[in-house]
Amino acid sequence: QVQLVESGGGLVQPVGSLRLSCAASGFASSSYWLYWFRQAPGKGLEWVSVINTGADSILYADSVKGRFTISRDNAKNTLYLHMNSLKPEDTARYYCARDPSEGSGPTYRYDYWGQGTQVTVSS
């Protein structure tokens, strides 16, 4: 079955870095646009970034632009989020999600989600 499993979260000091991973299984992730989202305590879900199948069309939320980099390794069926210059306001649970439209997109609809990985930025 389709699964998305995030990892790589943890506690990091401000201005530190982390790399999140999202391992896909049960489908060929190379055929789908993929997204990162986050949800901070007490807040709604925030879209963070999206990447196309060939990793040559990428968008970021203004809140992370210039600090976060999304990438993918289709051979490994894995999506990444490289986070630099982390701020306390980046504290959130981070989720990856799949666009349901195989081979095209983005539709900004999501049919599968991971369980999330917690990122806490604090001194």
User: Where does 2-85 have alpha helices with state H?
Assistant: none
Q: Tens of pLDDT along 2-30?
A: 999 999 999 999 999 999 999 999 998 89
In the prediction, which pLDDT does 104 show?
77
Alpha-carbon distance values, 31 to 1, 26, 93, 117 (Å): 16, 12, 26, 24
Enumerate residues 6+ apart whose C-beta is below 8 A from 56. none
Q: How far is CA 53 from CA 41, 67, 84, 85, 117, in A?
A: 31, 22, 24, 27, 23
**Token pair listed for 40:** 């901070």
Query: pLDDT tens across 59-79, in order?
Result: 999 999 999 999 999 999 999
